[in-house]
Amino acid sequence: MEEFLDANYDYLSWDEDCGGLWVYGFQQNILDNMPALLEFAGEKLKQLDLYGDYGSDDPQDWCPPDRLKVVFDNLTAKCPNLEMFTLEGEGGTAESAAELAKLGQFKVKTVHLSGMKLPSEVWSSVIEALPGTLIDVSFEGCNLSGDNDAALKGLAQKMAGNENLCFNVSRNPGVNLDAVLAPFGDAKTQFESLYTDHMGGYDVGALLKKGCKIMYLYMRSAVLPEQKGKLSA
């Protein structure tokens, strides 16, 4: 497997010390070898990052369910210690969501899903499956909507007792931040970062007034209604 990694160094990177495997762009030969790659990584695998190649002729990158199934069938069977998962890709189906929901079988601490456009009715099934071990979650630029508010609020309730949280729902203007962030409103909540870029109006100061601590706050291009045009704290 070392020879395969060396031969595909433009698209693959494995760091045994940290247990990280990075896959850049979709290459059929890499997908064909994914079972062997994950078996090679085995219990040492703690981080898996799948990055779509936006310069390719394949607009859906990693999201089609047949590709995700190859990944998750082998992850669940061979890599029980997964802690961090990143997926950048476009498109996706209900079957893709069913595969991503398998992340709930792991004690993951970090899940980053970026740019994904799953059918709106299945997003909640992915969000609801994520475990309470999470401290860092990102849905940046996905097509989340108000239909997913309850699931996001439930995830926030799971995470609220954890420390040094990173919560990113930026570039999902259909989400109601008042509802989603409500569970974080107490002095026990400490954010390392909170991303609400390109969202609808939300008075983050309300969280601060309740004693919530936020080290880094990102509100770029926020659209603030008149009654919420400033930080109340």
Q: Pick the more confident residue, 56 or 44.
A: 44
Contact 19, 81 (CB under 8 A): yes
Contact 70, 35 (CB under 8 A): yes
Cα 84 to Cα 46: distance, rounded to the nearest angstrom: 6
Contact 108, 134 (CB under 8 A): yes
pLDDT value at residue 215:
92
Q: What percent of the chain has pLDDT over 70?
A: 88
Please state the rounded mean pLDDT for residues 131-152: 95
Cα 83 to Cα 111: distance, rounded to the nearest angstrom: 8
**Low-confidence winner among 11-15, 54-58, 99-103, 155-159 (lowest mean pLDDT):** 54-58
Helix or strand (DSSP H, E) at 35: helix 34-41
Q: Tell me if the pTM is above 0.85.
A: yes
Buried b (16+ CB within 10 A) or exposed e, 58-96: bebbbbbbebbebbbebbeebbeebbbbbbbbbbbbeeb
Q: Is the pLDDT of residue 80 over 70?
A: yes
224 Cβ neighbours under 8 A, 6+ residues apart: 201, 202, 230
Contact 137, 110 (CB under 8 A): yes
List C-alpha distances in Å: 179 to 146, 148, 151, 157, 202.
10, 11, 10, 11, 10
Contact 130, 111 (CB under 8 A): yes
